[in-house]
Amino acid sequence: MITRVTHQMTARTAAQNLQASLAQLNRLTDQATSNTRITRPSDDPSGTAESLRLRGEQRLAQQHTRNAQDGLGWLTTADTAIQAGLDLIGRAQDLTIQGANGAMSPAGREALAVEIDGIREALLVQANSTFGGRSVFAGTSDAGMAFGPDGTYVGVPGATVHRRVGPDESVRVDADGAAVFGSGPGSVFALMADIAADLRSGADVSPRIDAIDERRQEMLGELAGVGTRYNRLEVAQVATQERMGGLESRLSAVEDVDMARMIIDLKSAEVAYQGALGVTARVLQNSLLDFLR
């Protein structure tokens, strides 16, 4: 059976081919101007899936970067507070050594005691240092302080604060206030109060010198731990930046156009469109007289 081809069918086919050529030219033009190979999921379904996966990894890496930056803020605050506490402890030791001089007058010992009281208050301020409204020495407590006015530890013992800074890495960003400043009768605040009381009563403060040194050593140990975790966060931050660079390259390979190839495809599409335009123009200008010839 021979199918009858009419002028209307020929014209319709030519118009459809023209539309298809124009659509292809338009798609390639959009890709070339946006430098994006995938403008809609139908352009490349598998590439779209890979793009979504890579973008998900990018968002996760960005969150890790923010976590690391937040952690650095916590540890910087803790480091500053401990360093300041060490300076205060050093001054208290100097004053205690002066007070151990048995020839010092009561007025002189009272002056030393007053300064020791001031050091205790200054230590309390450092022990209640905060970052982002949270105490860096109180564990997971949201009370805003680690020590009460009387020097009692009010944080959450053993509850540590961590930040995830990599796919498989989490770093502690707080410091144990009870370990840094002590707790109960063994705290640095109780020690300062005892020294001040001994100075006022005329008691021998020499034994307190070793106690101050012991507390300093405890603080130095905690400071070293803070510094180690700070370095880990910096390393993790660099690793995350490198990972983000790799993800960007892989995402570009999936989404971005190959400009050299695009120019060739675009030129071919232009030629195809011009050809379709010429054929359609010839088909549509045929008259009844052309068919009777």
Task: Give the pLDDT confidence of 98-119 residue by residue, as tens digits.
Answer: 999 878 899 999 999 999 999 9
Is 274 found in the same domain as 207? no
Is 265 found in the same domain as 152? no
Is 266 found in the same domain as 246? no
198-223 pLDDT, tens digit per residue, is 999 999 999 999 999 999 999 999 99
Confidence check: pLDDT of 171 > 90: yes
The answer to whether residue 44 is domain-embedded is: no
CATH of the domain at 216: 1.20.1330.10
The answer to whether residue 45 is domain-embedded is: no
CB within 8 Å of 88: residues ≥ 6 apart: 119, 122, 123, 126
Weakest mean pLDDT among 120-124, 187-191, 265-269: 265-269
Is 288 found in the same domain as 152? no
Is 268 found in the same domain as 157? no
**Which candidate, 59, 94, 118, 79, places its Cα nearest to that of 243?**
59
Is 181 found in the same domain as 89? yes
Give the pLDDT of residue 276. 64
Over residues 126-154, the mean pLDDT reads 93
Is 104 found in the same domain as 16? no
The answer to whether residue 57 is domain-embedded is: no
The answer to whether residue 47 is domain-embedded is: no
Is 101 found in the same domain as 22? no
Mean pLDDT of the chain: 84
11-33 pLDDT, tens digit per residue, is 666 666 666 665 655 665 665 55
Is 135 found in the same domain as 110? yes
Whats the size of the chain, residue-wise?
Answer: 293
Give the pLDDT of residue 44. 73
Over residues 218-233, the mean pLDDT reads 96
Is 206 found in the same domain as 127? yes
For residue 213, give Cα distances in angstroms to 112, 191, 226: 18, 11, 20
286 is in which domain, residue-wise?
7-37+256-292
Name the domain count of the chain: 2
Confidence check: pLDDT of 252 > 80: no
Do 165 and 71 form a contact (C-beta atoms < 8 A)?
Answer: yes
